[in-house]
Copies of this chain bind each other. A is one copy, B any other.
Amino acid sequence: MDPSEVDVPPLKDLTIDNITDNVKLINSKCPNPRLKYILERVVQHLHDFARETRLSHDEWMTGLLFLTSVGQICTDVRQEFILLSDILGLSLLVDSIDHPKPPQSTEGTVLGPFHSHEAQVEPNGAQISHDPDGEPCLVLCDIKDMSGKPVEGVKIDIWETDSKGFYDVQYPGREGPDQRAVMHSDKEGVFWFKAIVPVPYPIPSDGPVGKLLKQLKRHCYRPSHMHFMFEKLGYDHLITALYLRGDPYETSDAVFGVKESLIIDLGTVSSEQAQKHGVKAGSKLIGYNFVLVTEEQSRELREQNAMKAMKAQGRTMKLWNGLPVPDLD
């Protein structure tokens, strides 16, 4: 770069008190107003954090090495940064902000680090878990919109652990995906499959996030649950999960994902259901009626909430691609 092209205010002799404004200034030439705003807030919070803690050089280095190890343990099938975000409550917070749910619609929750793109497309009725030690469980669900109309052709991603509490991707020697599937709702909005009863399990604790939890004297368990992700053009992307009532970790989920509306009672398959779905009467049953909101409904609510929050924070903002940026006009 030609030094003559350097076009920033002179920066020198920066101190604890003036560095923040100067870093913001040098970043302020960013042509993307959203990235510019995000960086402005990142710099402010990072610097405030250092000033409020009087962060030492050793702590700074410990922090950077911690983040490095979080990055380095990540693989195609392990996302430790999502896990870190999960245990700090950031994941649930972001889901709540980005996917606000009107009353009566199904609430969202954390994605978690174990969604994969390996799941096979399966027809209704498929057996998606092949763990012989798992307790068989019929899952019978349907999907409606806010007006009560069934929604057909929704792509549903489902994933759960095996009976030992591990996802398929946690086995180095695994031969292919298991305990996960992609399905589609039928004309009545119905989708159903054969799985196993979810069990509580520890999030991976052999990495830097596990070590952090130990230092914080927190346990690393999640209550029994099954993950669901719903996608259909025109509908708000829904990432959620169903939790079993009475789980010992129901009120202390390591990643803060439990919501009352997503807790279900484990049921029992009736003779009629058994015959219709080809499973044993008396075996376990999970049933749920999911309610999707349209993209339009979600967008309106999200933008309304955003502008209300910005006003409450005393910020003069406008929306840019649906997200707030400073209104400088």
A interface residues, Cβ below 8 angstroms from B: 1, 3-6, 8, 10-16, 19-20, 22-23, 26-27, 29-32, 35, 37-39, 41-43, 45-57, 59-60, 64-65, 67-72, 74, 79, 81-82, 85, 88-99, 202, 215-221, 237, 248-253, 256, 258-260, 302, 305-306, 309-310, 313, 315, 323-324
| Chain B residues with CB under 8 A of A72 | 71-72, 74
A313: nearest residue on chain B (CB-CB)?
A: B52
Is there an interface contact between B38 and A219, defined as CB atoms closer than 8 Å? Answer: no
Q: How far is the CA of A99 from the CA of B55 in the complex (A)?
A: 11
Main secondary structure of the interface of A (DSSP, over half): helix
Also in contact, A93 and B30, with CB within 8 A (given A39-B216, A54-B306): no
| Chain B residues with CB under 8 A of A218 | 8, 26-27, 29
| Chain B residues with CB under 8 A of A56 | 94, 97-98, 323
| Chain B residues with CB under 8 A of A79 | 64, 68
A32 to chain B: closest CB distance in Å?
A: 7
A30: nearest residue on chain B (CB-CB)?
A: B216
Is there an interface contact between A248 and B3, defined as CB atoms closer than 8 Å? Answer: yes
| Chain B residues with CB under 8 A of A92 | 14, 19
| Chain B residues with CB under 8 A of A13 | 258-260
A251 to chain B: closest CB distance in Å?
A: 4
Is there an interface contact between B82 and A64, defined as CB atoms closer than 8 Å? Answer: yes
| Chain B residues with CB under 8 A of A99 | 57
A16: nearest residue on chain B (CB-CB)?
A: B96
Q: How far is the CA of A38 from the CA of B51 in the complex (A)?
A: 11
A249: which of B6, B68, B220 is its contact (CB, 8 Å)?
A: B6
A38: which of B35, B53, B306 is its contact (CB, 8 Å)?
A: B53
A4: nearest residue on chain B (CB-CB)?
A: B248
A251: which of B11, B46, B67 is its contact (CB, 8 Å)?
A: B11
Is there an interface contact between B41 and A52, defined as CB atoms closer than 8 Å? Answer: yes
A194 to chain B: closest CB distance in Å?
A: 28
Is there an interface contact between A19 and B252, defined as CB atoms closer than 8 Å? Answer: no
Is there an interface contact between A20 and B89, defined as CB atoms closer than 8 Å? Answer: yes
Q: How far is the CA of A260 from the CA of B64 in the complex (A)?
A: 28
Q: How far is the CA of A221 from the CA of B3 in the complex (A)?
A: 9
| Chain B residues with CB under 8 A of A37 | 53
Is there an interface contact between B26 and A97, defined as CB atoms closer than 8 Å? Answer: no
A72: nearest residue on chain B (CB-CB)?
A: B71
Is there an interface contact between B41 and A1, defined as CB atoms closer than 8 Å? Answer: no
Is there an interface contact between A97 and B216, defined as CB atoms closer than 8 Å? Answer: no
A69 to chain B: closest CB distance in Å?
A: 7
A258: which of B12, B27, B91 is its contact (CB, 8 Å)?
A: B12
Is there an interface contact between A64 and B81, defined as CB atoms closer than 8 Å? Answer: yes
> Could you show 28 A-B contacts with beta carbons less than 8 Å apart?
A1-B202, A6-B249, A11-B256, A12-B250, A12-B259, A13-B259, A14-B89, A14-B92, A19-B256, A23-B89, A26-B218, A42-B49, A42-B88, A43-B89, A45-B45, A45-B46, A50-B93, A51-B309, A54-B97, A54-B305, A54-B306, A54-B324, A56-B97, A57-B237, A59-B323, A64-B85, A65-B81, A68-B71
